[in-house]
Amino acid sequence: MATLFVGIFWVSCTNPAQKFTTETAQLDTIRSQINTMKVWFMVDEHKISKRYKHLTQQDSIIQLTNLSEQLPKDLGLSIEEFRAIPNIYRNYLNLFKQQQRQLDSLTQSTDSLQNLLYSESIGRRKFRKLLEIHKQCTNNLQLEVEATVKKTIEVEPTYKRIQPHIDSLEQSAIKLGQ
């Protein structure tokens, strides 16, 4: 009788994380993915927002038909590449907001999945199905986030090469306007 009591007490005190090590590890992997995606955005959002506002203010200069003639010839790029940057930044900022909501939602659903698992309110088979769906959503969002961040990073060299010249043209236009 005492052995039965100790056995029941031991089972009831077992840590759910130990009982569901495989599932807990998978949930931790998902959390890690989500946190990584959040970090990618945290680094760039403020900088991109500032740049986008600056480029928007310079729109009349960027849209000049003879802009390429006013820039140094050794820049070695198409002015159209530079003109595309504000749209890339705007898309990044729009996707940033949208993807942040998705990341927050994934974080909450990961916590909910863990609660379902630990409370044993659903069976392991149903949990695994839900987990697979959750993994797929996380992986899909990761692909979207990577594409968004990659496109923004790709235009960085173009921005850095041309922007000082655009700023210079803007200052010249301001002086001429005085």
Mean pLDDT per segment of 10 residues, for the chain of length 178 residues?
48 63 90 88 80 91 81 74 90 87 92 90 89 94 88 86 86 66
Identify the pLDDT of residue 76: 64
Identify the pLDDT of residue 8: 47
Identify the pLDDT of residue 65: 80
Cα 3 from Cα 81, distance rounded (Å): 76
Cα 20 from Cα 177, distance rounded (Å): 71
- The alpha carbon of 64 is separated from its chain's Cα centroid by a whole number of angstroms, namely 33
What b/e sequence results for 160-177 when a residue is b if at least 16 CB atoms lie within 10 Å of its CB, and e otherwise?
ebbbeebeebbeeeeeee
Identify the pLDDT of residue 9: 46
- pTM for the predicted model, two decimal places: 0.71
Q: Tell me whether residue 142 is exposed, middle or buried, using C-beta atoms within 10 angstroms of its C-beta: 0 to 12, 13 to 18, 19 or more.
A: middle
3-state secondary structure the chain: CHHHHHHHHHHHCCCHHHHCHHHHHHHHHHHHHHHHHHHHHHHHHHHHHHHHHHHHHCHHHHCCCCHHHHCCHHHCCCHHHHHHHHHHHHHHHHHHHHHHHHHHHHHHHHHHHHHHHHHCCCCHHHHHHHHHHHHHHHHHHHHHHHHHHHHHHHCHHHHHHHHHHHHHHHHHHHHHHC
Amino acid at 148: T
Q: To which residue do tokens 């379902």 refer?
A: 116
Report CA torsion sign: 143, 33, 47, 156: negative
Cα 156 from Cα 152, distance rounded (Å): 7
